[in-house]
Structure 1
Amino acid sequence: MPTRPQVYRPEATLLDLGDGFFDPVAPADFPETRLRFRNDRAAAQIGVDTLTDDEWTRHFGRFEPLPGTLPQPFALRYHGHQFRNYNPDLGDGRGFTFAQMRDDQGRLMDLGTKGSGQTPWSRAGDGRLTLKGGVREILATEMLEALNVPTSRTLSLIETGEHLHRGDEPSPTRSAVLVRLNHSHVRIGSFQRLAYERDEAGLRKLVGYTLRNLYDEDGDDPVRLLDLVVGRTARLAARYMAAGFVHGVLNSDNINVTGESFDYGPWRFAPTWDPAFTAAYFDHQGLYAFGRQPEAIHWDVMQLAVALRQIAESEPLVAALDQFGPRYQPEVTQAILWRLGVRPRDPDTDRDLVQATERALRTSRVGIDRFFFDAFGRELPDTYAEPWTEVRAALASYEPRKDRSHPYWSGEPCSMLIDEVEAIWAPIAENDDWTLLNAKVAAIRNMGDALAE
């Protein structure tokens, strides 16, 4: 029997928080709106896939309110640590939340923007997004979704006809506005702002809002919230590692309380298992390097615990925070077994296989995507000699979770290294040719289908 289409189910729960948590704003009036990307697969999950292109552009380029949801856009207020330095002058500076609805799993979802214009938190910024930045976010979110990483999804990208000047890429460059679909934009930094302002009532209200709307739990227990966030963020860190992904800017304002990755700037996929590999050219100390991401995310969650200390006792908060490591270890084991395409056996055996895999990847310098493609659901080919002996022997005793009958396995591994990102962008910049981007999105989704349960 065919599944029924998702019915549009608007919400406006953000309003429950009150105006102390956000500022009403107006979107920029762009010179033009040219639809460049619409994600109908994601749109179908929230019941907006039936919009015509004209309706789509009005809602996601001009921000005509969607029926029944938020009456206008709101720029969220938050603080955060940026590269471990506290910054109280943050907040949505080039984006806003403009709609909420339930998805086909019943989860509350936010529609948020990037590049939609200035807000009270823009500081000296123009509130805009480069078209290249939007293309990069499409590629990041599509790839991460396919690799089983909890992530926002790029719902829409619309070119806006402005010429932007940036110091880190050729200027002037084309502009765009992006819409992302997220299971909340409430960040660790949202709690930090309230703690900084010593707003205990606001902290309790935000804890209750988060538990009720994002975790489907009653009450306003800050320790329970921290425990849930520890679990979700440990899972996120583990899946970053299995995907070979480096976010680049794991500041506390970029970690939301649902453990869902979002806001992609200088991201990279690591070519090889190099713990020191960094994504951001300005990360001179390697604070957010590939191998340090679990530590970085744990540090951010520690800042949530510090903020919640104003409304909870230290001891239970510390106890919850101390569970990050014990939760991360089984999560990274499960994530790597998933990518290997095998079913778990027992914790000790599984951990040994994962540790052997990490050692061999680090020593051999074999490409991450190449290895997981070759190893998926079977013994390693004979071409994998030393240092792969231990991995070959261990894999032989595992049951595949899925066979290799999908057409994807007859080709080559789908990767997303920086050179390919540039190669996809070049024809767009030079000839307005979107063929490579569209083909790559299709290839990534094909890989995701092959990997999925």
Structure 2
Amino acid sequence: MPFDPQAYRPATALLTLGDGFFDAVAAADFPETRLRFRNQRAAAEIGLDPLTNAEWIRHFGRFDPLPDTLPSPLALRYHGHQFRSYNPDIGDGRGFTFAQMHDAQGRLMDLGTKGSGTTPHSRSGDGRLTLKGGVREILATEMLQALNVPTSRTLSLIETGEQLARGDEPSPTRSAVLVRLSLGHVRIGTFQRLAYEQDEAALRRLVGYVLRNLYGEDSDDPVRLLDLVVARTATLAARYMAAGFVHGVLNSDNINVTGESFDYGPWRFAPTWDPGFTAAYFDYQGLYAFARQPEAIHWDVMQLAVSLRQLVDTEPLIAALDRFAPRYGEAVAEAILWRLGVSPGEADADRLLVKAVERSLRDTAVPIDRFFFDAFGGDLPDGYGEEWAEVRGMLDGRSARKDRAHPYWFGAPCSMLIDEVEAIWARIAEADDWSALDAKVTAIRAMGEALA
């Protein structure tokens, strides 16, 4: 089998947790398997890029096991707060962990699925994914990676030939199975389930697994784990804001303890800096609105702390939680300066600049992507009027992190607003025309190269 012998490094670390953490399942037998998206860039990181398309489909459409990794797919068990209401009746209901392997950086990566069939946690669901949902996840993950947001990557999308009925979009609609490459699939809700069941031994095992395998630390200290999760999730929240991204459903079962964003449903990019902008039509109270995302993620991390109280005293956990706000402040300054393409300065000056940028974006309703495109390198064009005088003054004298020599800067800003998402999907739905998606992925990656 043509794997890259230098880059393909399979693993089975998940099995060390034991059967109580997952259920062995089988993938659905799909009527057809038509390869629609193959992320060769991500595949190269784990040694899978030499696979032929036929071999790719056999592994990621029919789920023949990859050599020397998990012998069968595993549906993970977890609970979680969904819109602040605790739900013990969830778990991997339309996905599973198919394989584990180390990437080029030595990190333990999971290959997880979406739309791969029913599991013991499916409840009344059909275990399937719409093709439109898969296309949307490609666009979200590509855009976020380019904008420096820690995210899972869409490795594969295969159309499966079934007609699905959905209440929130025209039906019947086409079906697909997606494979994502992610730094673990351990959620805050994974810890919540064990705390709910008062399984202290399993909770300790999970702490050690995450620290050793996902953080590279030889430790079993729950406080250390919480501190690391606080740091990673504060960075995630900050980079969401700098990207203008709204995840839509920041439930505790959707927060990965590695601080990597994943599981994209009703996501949107905000056109302007509108604090109340929401992505999910069912988020009636704006719980996960654009500006409330840091609060929402912090609240979820608090639930991890509550779970860990079964193992350690409360005081050090509270101290770790209290570090979220200052870490977020540092991270959002870093993220916005990165997107502005200017070097950091004094911490206080950076914070003032960030506040001025946020205030001016909110007050003027200048499109987020337009502003960061125009201001990259710190030179704000003359077309920005008096409302931007404070930002212009604060940028004056800042050294550019990178010049504007890349061809991207001679075009227009790359955005990913809902109208374009729908237009890309319409061409696929109406004419099976994938050229707009392919072109958009190329454009997004060019932006990523210009920003990096």
Map of 2:199 onto structure 1: 199
Q: Say if 2:386 is the partner of 1:386.
A: yes
Provide the C-alpha distance between the structure 2 equivalents of 1:195 and 1:56, rounded to a whole number of angstroms. Answer: 39
Map of 2:422 onto structure 1: 422
3-state secondary structure, aligned to 1:238: helix
Map of 1:151 onto structure 2: 151
Map of 2:278 onto structure 1: 278
Map of 1:440 onto structure 2: 440
Map of 1:86 onto structure 2: 86
Please state how far the C-alpha of 1:7 moved relative to its aligned partner.
1.4
AA matched with 1:147: L
Aligned 8 A contact 1:11 1:100 in 2: yes
AA matched with 1:84: R
Provide the C-alpha distance between the structure 1 equivalents of 2:214 and 2:24, rounded to a whole number of angstroms. Answer: 23
Provide the C-alpha distance between the structure 2 equivalents of 1:121 and 1:6, rounded to a whole number of angstroms. Answer: 37
AA matched with 1:225: L
Alignment of 1:35-434 (within 5 A): 35-434=35-434
Provide, for residues 15-53 of structure 1, a one-character-per-residue CA deviation record: whole Å limited to 9, x for no partner. 000000000000000000000000000000011000000
Aligned 8 A contact 1:6 1:104 in 2: no
Q: Say if 2:32 is the partner of 1:23.
A: no
Provide the C-alpha distance between the structure 2 equivalents of 1:430 and 1:122, rounded to a whole number of angstroms. Answer: 31
Aligned CA distance change for structure 1 residues 12 and 431 (closer, same or farther; 3 Å): same
Please state how far the C-alpha of 1:430 moved relative to its aligned partner.
0.4
Provide the C-alpha distance between the structure 1 equivalents of 2:309 and 2:159, rounded to a whole number of angstroms. Answer: 44
3-state secondary structure, aligned to 2:387: coil
Provide the C-alpha distance between the structure 1 equivalents of 2:327 and 2:378, rounded to a whole number of angstroms. Answer: 28
3-state secondary structure, aligned to 2:81: strand
3-state secondary structure, aligned to 1:93: coil
Provide the C-alpha distance between the structure 2 equivalents of 1:7 and 1:422, rounded to a whole number of angstroms. Answer: 37
Aligned 8 A contact 1:21 1:76 in 2: yes
3-state secondary structure, aligned to 1:302: helix
The alignment-based identity, stated in percent, is: 79
Aligned 8 A contact 1:139 1:441 in 2: yes
AA matched with 1:32: E
Please state how far the C-alpha of 1:378 moved relative to its aligned partner.
3.0
Provide the C-alpha distance between the structure 2 equivalents of 1:43 and 1:421, rounded to a whole number of angstroms. Answer: 25
Aligned 8 A contact 1:279 1:289 in 2: yes
Please state how far the C-alpha of 1:218 moved relative to its aligned partner.
1.0
Runs of 4+ residues deviating >3 angstroms: none
Please state how far the C-alpha of 1:6 moved relative to its aligned partner.
5.2
Normalising by structure 2, report the TM-score: 0.99
Provide, for residues 249-301 of structure 1, a one-character-per-residue CA deviation record: whole Å limited to 9, x for no partner. 00000001000000000000000000000000000000000000000000000
Map of 1:14 onto structure 2: 14
AA matched with 1:323: R
Aligned 8 A contact 1:6 1:46 in 2: no
Please state how far the C-alpha of 1:5 moved relative to its aligned partner.
8.6
Gaps of 5+ in 1: none
Provide the C-alpha distance between the structure 1 equivalents of 2:115 and 2:235, rounded to a whole number of angstroms. Answer: 29
Please state how far the C-alpha of 1:165 moved relative to its aligned partner.
0.1
Aligned 8 A contact 1:6 1:44 in 2: no
TM-align CA RMSD: 0.8
Please state how far the C-alpha of 1:386 moved relative to its aligned partner.
2.2
Provide the C-alpha distance between the structure 1 equivalents of 2:147 and 2:119, rounded to a whole number of angstroms. Answer: 34
Task: Give aligned pairs, total.
Answer: 449
AA matched with 2:283: D
3-state secondary structure, aligned to 1:175: strand
AA matched with 2:27: P
Provide the C-alpha distance between the structure 2 equivalents of 1:7 and 1:247, rounded to a whole number of angstroms. Answer: 32
AA matched with 2:270: A
Provide the C-alpha distance between the structure 1 equivalents of 2:108 and 2:394, rounded to a whole number of angstroms. Answer: 42
